[in-house]
Amino acid sequence: MSPSKVCVATVLHLSALVDDVLRGLGALPMTSLAAFQSDARDAAAAESYLRRVLEAVLDLGRHILAKGLGEGTLEYKQVALALQRAGVLDEARGEVLVDLAAYRNRLTHFYDEVTTPELFEICAHRAADIRLVRDAMLDWLRRHPELVDGEL
């Protein structure tokens, strides 16, 4: 695969989606597990928000790899590892994204095993990690304007 240019419109769309979904997640009762469990719809909404935001940040990484670096990869965990190898993410943020990619796969393929307390822990204590990873990708793109088809 040959690199071309990272599409600013795609980056901005996925970045805004991350913010929108994290806002929705943040509106849920995350003060305690008891509050989170008080309405079963909250856990269902949190699961949907979490899966969507993880897919958005991983799709952003996939876009950077494909268009900016000419590296195609299909599996989300491989996206995280490739971003780390390429220097888009440092080791710490790369490891965070590997963990989050694994959790996205759990939500998608082992959804029947995800418990409400586990979901609460991820949503209440790891949501900020998603924004940090996204921001690291955006910072990397800003430092490499030659790879982008416009200004971020």
pLDDT digits (tens, 9 = 90+) for 53-99: 999 999 999 999 999 999 987 789 999 999 999 999 999 999 999 99
* Residues 6 or more apart in contact with residue 84 via CB below 8 angstroms: 90, 91, 93, 94, 95, 97, 98
pLDDT in tens, 99-142: 999 999 999 899 899 999 999 999 999 999 999 999 999 999 99
CA-CA distance, 65 to 46, in Å (whole number)?
A: 28
Domain ranges of the chain: 8-144
CA-CA distance, 85 to 121, in Å (whole number)?
A: 29
Query: pLDDT value at position 73?
Result: 78
Query: pLDDT value at position 34?
Result: 97
Query: pLDDT value at position 3?
Result: 78
The CATH number assigned to the domain with range 8-144 reads 1.20.120.580
Query: pLDDT value at position 139?
Result: 98
Query: pLDDT value at position 15?
Result: 98
Query: pLDDT value at position 74?
Result: 75
